[in-house]
Amino acid sequence: MSNPNWRLGTKCIQEGWEPKSGEARVLPIYQSTTFRYETAEEMGDLFDLKAAGFFYTRLANPTTDAVERKVAALEGGVGAVMTSAGMAATTMSIVNIAHAGDHIISSSAVYGGTFNLFYKTLKELGIDCTFVAPDATEAELEAAFRPNTRLVFGETLSNPSLQVLDIELFAKVAHAHQVPLIVDNTFPTPINCRPFEFGADIVVHSTSKYLDGHASALGGIIVDSGRFDWAAAGKYPELTTPDETYHGIVYTEHFGNAAYITKCRTHLMRDLGMSPSPMNGWLLSQGIDTLHLRMPRHCENAMKVAKALQADDRIAWVSFPDLEGDPQHALAKKYMPNGTCGVISFGVKGGRESASKLQSHLKLAAIATHVADLRTCVLHPASTTHRQMNDEQLAEAGVRPDLVRFSVGIEDADDIIADIKQALDQL
């Protein structure tokens, strides 16, 4: 059934679950921790990685397996591992190939949770991170490398600042140093950007956002392009020398171009257990069935809202990479020619206080810390997530006091615009 030539919309619906004759048409929820075998030999072969199959849901589950194949097909990868949350996917994607004493490089324009992971938790584990500007030049990127650098990390479209990563440049410099580029592709989703086409080696997602789309289930996923040559790079002994906890298997020899993603599952899921529930795997699959319909609508609505705001003299500024004239526009068009996503930001005249008040006057748009799902929501960072900071500290963090983050949903755009207008009228 599966077909690499299918277009994205067909893959969203048809990839993943392939029922045999007489089996359920819709992906079943295998709500079971464990799986039964008839002989000890069959079970033994699974533990030795000699045979593929399910034996314990911490490592793999048929429901989760189907959604992993769907996302791998959409990104164009050789395999994927779903995790309990986006943060688990990012963590595993790194500790799979970086250890105490190693060093990583990351764009500084990353999700707040990712920044904390790199700045604090990985440091505590002995992995140092150098942050570089998302628009770093080749020379600036080069200067960040050390002999023990193991990978480079960035977000296609950063949350919440919507900085576009120059994936080709980051990949080129990473590859010159024989390390992979890992890209968090949460905001554009594979519908709007497929980072492997521009040289990225590993993609991670928080599926809690557009992929699920309904804000129903937390989840994350790691996808392996299968293109990075771990053996030739000569710096990844965990993939190229025997793993004594699996009877001396060498991942690159045994699993070929799926070495990285196989080790993620067999080693890290075994030892760290950041596994998703089968129910959340099913909800994710259900969400992705309509991803190709939802993403264009998010982009179209966001553009209508951005233009309406630009034309309103009570608005100080609007930032959305899809707008012509936006400083990010050219880069956004290169990597996301069909649009970026539904998240925009704008400033309200009257500054911090007016922006804060605007939130409470909105009726359709809900105040929520979540972004990137089908319901429109709003957040004024200066009075919520960043409320302990004064204007000076906000400026250092790159958050303007009057900034309103607006995640445009897929309701009727005219109702979203009318909601903002009536809220502005009350200021």
Ligand X SMILES: *Cc1c(COP(=O)(O)O)cnc(C)c1O
Give the x/- contact pattern for ligand X in 168-187, rule: CB under 6 A.
----------------x-x-
> Is there binding between residue 114 and ligand X (CB under 6 A)?
yes
- Residue 307: CB partners within 8 Å, gap ≥ 6? 323
For residue 324, the tally of other CB atoms under 10 A from its CB is 7
285 belongs to the binding site for ligand X (CB under 6 A): no
Query: Taking CB under 6 A as the rule, does residue 373 contact ligand X?
Result: no
Helix, strand, or coil here: 406? strand
Comparing CB distances to ligand X, the nearer of 210 and 255 is 210
Shortest distance in whole angstroms from residue 218 CB to ligand X: 5
Residue 113 found at the interface with ligand X (CB under 6 A) = yes
**Residue 111 binds ligand X (CB under 6 A):** yes
Binding to ligand X by residue 86, rule CB under 6 A?
yes
Minimum CB separation of residue 319 from ligand X in Å reads 17
Decide if residue 368 touches ligand X (CB under 6 A).
Answer: no
Q: Of residues 70, 177, 209, 380, which one binds ligand X by CB under 6 A? A: 209
CB under 6 A: which stretch of 72-80, 107-115, 121-129, 306-314 binds ligand X?
A: 107-115
The span of 61-69, 83-91, 119-127, 395-403 binding ligand X (CB under 6 A) equals: 83-91
Minimum distance of ligand X from residue 264's CB (angstroms): 17
Q: Does 190 bind ligand X (CB under 6 A)?
A: no
| Shortest distance, position 183 Cβ to ligand X, whole Å | 10
Report how many helices (DSSP H) and strands (DSSP E) the chain contains, helices first: 20, 12
Minimum Å gap between C-beta 60 and ligand X is 20
Say which residues have a Cβ less than 8 Å from residue 253's Cβ, sequence separation at least 6.
Answer: none
- Of these, 161, 206, 275, 319, which contacts ligand X (CB under 6 A)? 206
From candidates 195, 220, 226, 339, binder to ligand X by CB under 6 A: 220
Closer by beta carbon to ligand X, 71 or else 259: 71
From the CB of 233, what's the least distance to ligand X, in Å? 26
90/354 with CB nearer ligand X: 90
Which of these ranges, 68-76, 202-210, 289-297, 357-365, lies near ligand X under the rule CB under 6 A?
202-210
CA distance 421 to 30: 47
Number of residues binding to ligand X, judged by CB under 6 A: 15
Closest C-alpha to 151, from 223, 85, 233: 233
Q: Does 218 bind ligand X (CB under 6 A)?
A: yes
The dihedrals phi and psi of 41, each to the nearest 5 degrees, come to: -65, -45
Report the distance separating Cα 278 and Cα 264, nearest Å: 18
Q: DSSP labels for 184-220?
A: E-TTTHHHH--GGGGT-SEEEEETTTTTT-SS----E
Which residues have a Cβ under 8 Å from the Cβ of 336 and sit 6 or more positions away?
156, 157, 164, 188, 192, 193, 321
**Torsion angle of C-alpha atoms 42, 43, 48, 53, degrees rounded to 10:** 80
Q: Where are the alpha helices (DSSP H) in 311-407?
A: 329-335, 351-361, 391-396
Stretch touching ligand X by CB under 6 A, among 49-57, 72-80, 206-214, 260-268: 206-214
Between 118 and 157, how does the x/- string for binding to ligand X read (CB under 6 A)? -------------------------------------x--
Using alpha carbons, list the distances in angstroms from residue 403 to 199, 270, 370, 382: 34, 43, 16, 8
The nearer residue to ligand X, 114 or 149, going by C-beta atoms, is 114
Alpha-carbon distance 253 to 265, whole Å? 17
Distance CA 302, CA 304 (A): 5
Are the CB atoms for 293 and 10 separated by under 8 Å? no
User: Would you say 129 or 417 has its CB closer to ligand X?
Assistant: 129
When the beta carbons of 84 and 257 are compared against ligand X, the nearer one is 84
Sign of CA dihedral 44, 50, 56, 62: negative
Q: How far does Cα 103 stand from its chain's mean position?
A: 22
Name the residues that contact ligand X, by CB under 6 A.
85-87, 111, 113-114, 155, 159, 184, 186, 206, 208-209, 218, 220
